[in-house]
Amino acid sequence: MEVTEVRIKLMDDNDDRLQAFCSITLDGEFVVRDLKVIEGLKGPFVAMPSRKLMIKCPTCSWKNDVRARHCNGCGNRITAETGGQTRSRLFADIAHPINAACREKIQVVVIAALDAERERSRQPGYICTYDDTEDVYAESPST
């Protein structure tokens, strides 16, 4: 597997740990969107796309944060037996590498693309290409 394309969207606030969002294309055939580049204690690292974990209220089926004590829909108390505060994780990865070698391969390519995008952003007339999707689906078969 090779990372054949990386698109970077730099964040405006340089004081924030979130440095950029990115999308990667694998072997020119598969896209993974919404990876995050975060400034860590040992330098930047790539965080995989994730979703917030939710639980349903047993009374009204409203989706609530896994650590919620009360339902945002009906106001009833959510007890430990019905899901409140039983999970320690708040987010779950949507896509992620299976091994450390794959994670490192992705990270090296993304960090290099981040550095290149930062350099490009300093040039006059810079335009971010992160959201240019017309060519991504150009070869999609019609249904």
Q: Are residues 44 and 107 in the same domain?
A: yes
Q: Are residues 10 and 74 in the same domain?
A: no
For residue 36, the model assigns a pLDDT of 95
Number of domains within the chain:
2
Distances (CA, A) of 3 to 64, 96, 130: 36, 14, 16
Q: Could you tell me the residue range of the domain that residue 31 belongs to? A: 3-49+94-121
For residue 93, the model assigns a pLDDT of 87
Q: Are residues 24 and 44 in the same domain?
A: yes
Who contacts 25 (Cβ-Cβ below 8 Å, separation ≥6)? 3, 4, 5, 6, 31, 136
For residue 143, the model assigns a pLDDT of 43
For residue 130, the model assigns a pLDDT of 83
Cα 7 to Cα 25: distance, rounded to the nearest angstrom:
9
CB environment 107-143: b (16+ within 10 A), e (fewer):
bebbbebbeebeeeeeeeeeeeebeeeeeeeeeeeee
Provide the residue-wise pLDDT of the chain in tens; the chain has 143 residues.
899 999 999 998 767 899 999 999 999 999 999 999 999 999 999 999 999 888 889 899 999 988 888 999 999 998 765 444 445 678 888 999 999 999 999 999 999 999 999 999 999 999 888 876 555 444 444 44
For residue 92, the model assigns a pLDDT of 87
Answer yes or no: pTM beyond 0.75. no
**SS3 state at 112:** helix
For residue 16, the model assigns a pLDDT of 86
